[in-house]
Chains A and B, each alone.
Chain A
């Protein structure tokens, strides 16, 4: 590697930041767990915090490509993998909290929650996609699948859509009239819409021209 020392350390700082962001929710949660500060409904707190962490990290991983394209920052690209894997981690923890901590692996009860209800089915869909992406996030699979691998990893966008729909359906209220506390899931949906639009060539090319005029 013949990069200037300055460039190399920038990469390292970015990677460090990505790991810090990824591990922070878990560290804070563990501290609160040990100090018994998870509130009066600890299972609910765990579900909410793991779910939010998963959505935030997933959205962050999806900002990398638009940022890289618009501002010409190839150094950001290696961050997609750790951010995406952390999103998958929190999605997994979220599911384990539900299935094990909350429902004690009682399959008949879990079935009652899933049966004919989009709310959890959508969440499970998001989780399965993230699990698949995590499992294929390595050199060997990338080499084997080649072009198909890039297509596969773009399913992260679908995972984000499913996860945010799941989040919206968790709120008590009426989604169609937005009566209820939809603040956070709507912000997430808004960010995702912006991220989608930034992938449209007309838009990112215009932004590229704007930010990369030299």
Chain B
């Protein structure tokens, strides 16, 4: 099988470090007291101009994009249906039932269907995709997902001419999710993409992580990954994908529309109302690094936003 690999930096398959070796290297670095170098490294970050854009010639291409530890990816998670404690999700999600599972694909399509996970795995070859993930809170990771591009699924169901957006609904199972009934958030978790964003090759339906099936806390058994947008757009544990004609409501846009837009494209020049988005903390590393426009995928996705004012369409 052709192992197509998407990278944030050019890396050959042999360079992908097996996770157990990567983890032991990290432990070695920690024991050397690398933590203390944080402040030194941060002061080496390029100075931003007042509007948050990087000065010309900034060495962002030279910033390392090392894979984030499996431990960090699986134990530092926002999954509020379980708990708002990032490090508490893993334990609480352990008994989340992800098999059997089906995803209903419906709405403005010619072939609405409900797929089981077995059907999805059989019909769509899985590939590894290494993507950056940037949370709106200001931290980021580099994650080796396994999955298949959403456009292949959409091609099967054939959106009609009226379909302009895609709605994603995540699972809501109060009996298994401790905080589902807390009243803090208007669950179920809904998200959406414009049809062309959904059909972009970068948009992934992920079923695995570090060559293993997704653990429950990361959105098992199938989740969305849209790497050029803030992490909250990448819905977990999908139960329904629907093609619709109007821009769908999304949870965070419903909760705080002045803070979380529909597009939510990563953009260092567009601040969150309460904090700057110019820099981020890469989990596992010391110091801060400049946030990249479109999370570093600008070349691939800018054609989608030609002529759009990104400060209005945040």
Q: Is chain B found bound to chain A in the same assembly? A: yes
Interface size class of A (residues with CB under 8 A): 20 to 34
B69 to A: closest C-beta gap in Å: 8
A77 interface contact, C-beta 8 A: no
* Chain B residues whose CB sits within 8 angstroms of the CB of A119 once the complex forms: 274-275
Map CB proximity to B onto A90-115 as digits: 1 under 8 Å, 0 otherwise: 00000000001111111011011101
Picked from B52, B137, B256, the residue with its CB within 8 Å of the CB of A174 is: B256
Picked from A39, A105, A112, A177, the residue with its CB within 8 Å of the CB of B52 is: A112
A40 touches B283 (CB 8 A): yes
* Chain B residues whose CB sits within 8 angstroms of the CB of A120 once the complex forms: 275
A117 touches B275 (CB 8 A): yes
Segment touching A, from B34-42, B155-163, B200-208, B239-247 = B34-42
B42 touches A36 (CB 8 A): no
Map CB proximity to A onto B272-285 as digits: 1 under 8 Å, 0 otherwise: 01111011010110
A41 interface contact, C-beta 8 A: yes
* Chain A residues whose CB sits within 8 angstroms of the CB of B86 once the complex forms: 40-41
* Chain A residues whose CB sits within 8 angstroms of the CB of B42 once the complex forms: 102-106
What's the dominant secondary structure at chain A's contact region?
mixed
A36 touches B30 (CB 8 A): yes
A117 touches B48 (CB 8 A): no
Picked from A40, A44, A109, the residue with its CB within 8 Å of the CB of B278 is: A109
A201 interface contact, C-beta 8 A: no
A104 touches B43 (CB 8 A): yes
Give A134-168 interface residues, CB cut-off 8 Å to B: none
* Chain B residues whose CB sits within 8 angstroms of the CB of A169 once the complex forms: 274
* Chain B residues whose CB sits within 8 angstroms of the CB of A32 once the complex forms: none
A182 to B184, CA, bound (A): 9
A173 touches B256 (CB 8 A): yes
Tally B residues with Cβ within 8 Å of A: 41
A212 interface contact, C-beta 8 A: no
Q: Assuming the A-B contacts A40-B87, A112-B276, are A104 and B41 also in contact, with contact meaning beta carbons closer than 8 angstroms in the complex?
A: yes
Give A36-57 interface residues, CB cut-off 8 Å to B: 36, 39-44
B75 touches A40 (CB 8 A): yes
A212 to B: closest C-beta gap in Å: 41
* Chain B residues whose CB sits within 8 angstroms of the CB of A173 once the complex forms: 184, 255-256
User: Which of chain B's residues has its CB closest to A43's CB?
Assistant: B281
A103 touches B288 (CB 8 A): yes
User: Which of chain B's residues has its CB closest to A117's CB?
Assistant: B274
* Chain B residues whose CB sits within 8 angstroms of the CB of A118 once the complex forms: 274
A173 to B259, CA, bound (A): 9
* Chain B residues whose CB sits within 8 angstroms of the CB of A103 once the complex forms: 42, 288
Picked from A39, A106, A174, the residue with its CB within 8 Å of the CB of B45 is: A106
A179 touches B256 (CB 8 A): yes
A7 interface contact, C-beta 8 A: no
* Chain B residues whose CB sits within 8 angstroms of the CB of A39 once the complex forms: 76, 87
* Chain A residues whose CB sits within 8 angstroms of the CB of B284 once the complex forms: 40
Picked from B39, B76, B275, the residue with its CB within 8 Å of the CB of A41 is: B76
10 A-B interface contacts by CB (under 8 A): A41-B139, A100-B39, A101-B38, A103-B288, A104-B45, A104-B287, A109-B47, A115-B50, A117-B274, A119-B274
Given A40-B87, A40-B284, A117-B271, 18 more A-B residue pairs with CB atoms under 8 Å apart are A40-B75, A41-B281, A43-B38, A100-B39, A103-B288, A104-B42, A105-B39, A106-B43, A109-B47, A109-B278, A112-B50, A112-B52, A115-B50, A172-B256, A173-B255, A178-B184, A179-B256, A181-B184
Interface residues of B (CB under 8 A from A): 30, 35, 38-43, 45, 47-48, 50, 52, 71-72, 75-76, 80, 84, 86-87, 136-137, 139, 184-186, 255-256, 271, 273-276, 278-279, 281, 283-284, 287-288
- The 6 A-B residue pairs with the shortest CB-CB distance, nearest first, are A104-B42, A40-B76, A181-B84, A104-B43, A112-B276, A174-B256
